Structure 1
Amino acid sequence: MPGVLCVGIATQDYVFAVDVMPATAEKHRARDLAVVGGGIAATAAVAVSRLGGRAMLITRLGDDAVGEAIVAALAQDGVDCSLAPRTPGRRSPQSSVIVDAKGERLVVSYSDPAMPACLDAIPSRLPPGVEAVMADTRWEEGGLQAFAAARASAGVGVLDADRAPALGGLTEAATHVAYGAQALREMTGRDDVRAALADAASVASNWVAVTDGERGVYFTENGQIAHEPAFPITPVDTLGAGDVFHGALALGLAEGMGERLAVRFASAAAAIKCTRFGGRAGAPTRDEVDALMRRAA
């Protein structure tokens, strides 16, 4: 299977399940708890591995116990972290996540502001067998350099733009950009995501899309804005769903799928994840995704 190099953040997540999202500054009791690895790029890498692809991850970690736990969990899921730098004296990223009965989540995260750039960890060309890069906006310099490696190797570069990039040229460096609905609304000033995507597409030279939860995915196709509906599910936990989507999208493109089929494939993977509590622990296998796509055909 083709490989995907994921570049960006990896975290240790503490996921608390509650009935109602807390709105007051007092003690609250959770009905469930999952301690699980998280982070956009890391969760995308796990999704790639569980879907049958070769997953590599370059992320910046400290030399602390949290970093050890992050790497150990990723190794159990078959993710290659051999290129990920570990910086002495720095703290690895962590997040506290609250998930309510509707599956919505509130995230409080920490990343060490003194973490160095570590750009020498990014290769100038993709490793053998790697056909795509998936990068997030939490390590934009690393993503920009990884997209350059993808272009130098005639590979695919997928940007998870869940927020507007601060680094100029990042969206242009990717071959495929998938925005989060909120990020695209903020960037364009439009509430209607289809119209917002049309605005973004009018000035883009690459493929662009926007994920809009239960309303599905809008994307460019033959000069028009196309739509792929979401799979109907009852959500339990949406944490990591977008990350799974982007990892699956990158793998689908690396396998040679057309954009529409890759969006459908990624949507199925994200839908299954939403039906399971525990963040990326709910990322599905290839057999599960294939079965859902067959049932929905």
Structure 2
Amino acid sequence: MKCSVFCVGLALQDTILTLDRIPDHAVKVYAKRRHEVGGGPAATAAVTVARLGGHALIAARTGEDNTAATMRREFEAVGVDTTWLRAFPGVQSSGAVVLVDSRGERLIVAYTDPELPSAADWLEPKSWGDAVLCDLTWPEGALRCLHAARAAGIPSLLDADISRHASGTVAAIVGAADHVIFSRPGLAQFTGTDSIEEGLRRARRASHTLVGVTDGADGFFWLEDGNLRNALPPRVGVVDTTGAGDAFHGAFALALAKGRPVVDAIAFSNTVAALKCTRPDGRAGLPDPAELRNFAPGLDLDWLVAGA
């Protein structure tokens, strides 16, 4: 039986434009290539889980439009369960334009229809699986899944990136999760400091099993027994960082679902995210177990290939 991760949050459609340099002023530029692919933190994490052989479910809100139909087809093509992907009439599905430069860095301009219904009372699965993962884009959905996970005694993971929501709302979501992994900008926004160590200390709650932050090539930082620790990812030639953080979260959630130790989950997630960065077009570059084994033959993947 595959381990199951229930992912709640944002699903959108990315238009990825590749160019030599991201402009720093208003100007007309020409892209070298254009690619359409699904995106969103929770959604890409779900695809990561499915690519790695786990069972992923996505709970997200869309409109009743062609964008929603495209996203649903992509999810189903990679084996993500769309039972809880709900389409609402009269609103637009979410989307983003992503500019990727020659170093693989990106600029993201995202749009979510403010008229998307916020209520999450329709989200009533019979089972929340072996782990839940949520992002900060849909507070009602996040709180519903995190509270359900705590009540059921299953591990939860919050992808804490920058947020448009009120600080009190974000604090409630952070406090409801037992594993919280920030992006570097998300940690700075939540805690008001650019210091990783001080930020993690301010963010940590007594209920947390883990609080950490991803910081690109500098790896993953977390607090353990009161001390700051760091794990570096494999060094790679970066092509596109789009979706790397989401891949890290999806891999980490799958490791939690399998009951892996935290240090093992970090090494696994670092490797998944690093390999994704060597390929273009966001989630199109997410690896499968065979690709991971070829990329990192020394990494323990027996638990994964034996049946995720």
Looking at structure 1, the residues matched to 264 and 293 of structure 2 have their Cα atoms a distance apart, in angstroms, of 12
Task: Tell me, yes or no, if the aligned pair for 1:235 and 1:274 is still in contact at 8 Å.
Answer: yes
Matches within 5 A, 1:261-276: 261-276=264-279
Task: Tell me, yes or no, if the aligned pair for 2:120 and 2:141 is still in contact at 8 Å.
Answer: yes
Letter in 2 for 1:161: A
Shift of 1:265: 0.6
Looking at structure 1, the residues matched to 66 and 98 of structure 2 have their Cα atoms a distance apart, in angstroms, of 20
Looking at structure 1, the residues matched to 284 and 117 of structure 2 have their Cα atoms a distance apart, in angstroms, of 29
Looking at structure 1, the residues matched to 200 and 113 of structure 2 have their Cα atoms a distance apart, in angstroms, of 33
**Corresponding position of 1:40:** 41
TM-score scaled to structure 2, two decimals? 0.90
Residue 211 (structure 2) aligned to one of 208, 213, 217: 208
Shift of 1:6: 0.5
Task: Tell me, yes or no, if the aligned pair for 1:124 and 1:146 is still in contact at 8 Å.
Answer: no
Shift of 1:219: 1.4
**Cα deviation 1:8-61 (Å, max 9, x = unaligned):** 010111000000112343321111111111111110000000011000000001
**Corresponding position of 1:195:** 198
**Corresponding position of 1:145:** 144
Distance 1:249 1:229, change over 3 A: same
Matches within 5 A, 1:70-89: 70-89=71-90
Letter in 1 for 2:70: A
Task: Tell me, yes or no, if the aligned pair for 2:268 and 2:299 is still in contact at 8 Å.
Answer: no
Shift of 1:220: 2.6
Letter in 2 for 1:63: E
Looking at structure 2, the residues matched to 296 and 58 of structure 1 have their Cα atoms a distance apart, in angstroms, of 31
Looking at structure 2, the residues matched to 284 and 172 of structure 1 have their Cα atoms a distance apart, in angstroms, of 32
Matches within 5 A, 1:253-268: 253-268=256-271
Mean Cα displacement is larger for which, 37-46 or 26-35?
Answer: 26-35
**Corresponding position of 1:96:** 97
**Corresponding position of 1:135:** 134
Letter in 2 for 1:87: F
Mean Cα displacement is larger for which, 19-28 or 47-56?
Answer: 19-28
Letter in 2 for 1:135: C
Letter in 1 for 2:231: E
Looking at structure 2, the residues matched to 175 and 190 of structure 1 have their Cα atoms a distance apart, in angstroms, of 22
Looking at structure 1, the residues matched to 223 and 297 of structure 2 have their Cα atoms a distance apart, in angstroms, of 25
**Secondary structure of the equivalent of 1:121?**
coil
**Secondary structure of the equivalent of 1:108?**
strand
Q: Does 1:244 find its partner at 2:243? A: no
Looking at structure 2, the residues matched to 219 and 149 of structure 1 have their Cα atoms a distance apart, in angstroms, of 25
Looking at structure 2, the residues matched to 27 and 185 of structure 1 have their Cα atoms a distance apart, in angstroms, of 32
Task: Tell me, yes or no, if the aligned pair for 1:198 and 1:225 is still in contact at 8 Å.
Answer: no
Looking at structure 2, the residues matched to 235 and 294 of structure 1 have their Cα atoms a distance apart, in angstroms, of 20
Shift of 1:160: 0.2
Looking at structure 2, the residues matched to 175 and 293 of structure 1 have their Cα atoms a distance apart, in angstroms, of 29
Task: Tell me, yes or no, if the aligned pair for 1:36 and 1:278 is still in contact at 8 Å.
Answer: yes
Identity over aligned pairs, percent: 39
**Corresponding position of 1:172:** 175
Shift of 1:124: 6.5
Shift of 1:185: 2.2
Shift of 1:83: 1.5
Q: Does 1:287 find its partner at 2:290? A: yes
Q: Does 1:16 find its partner at 2:4? A: no
Shift of 1:172: 1.1
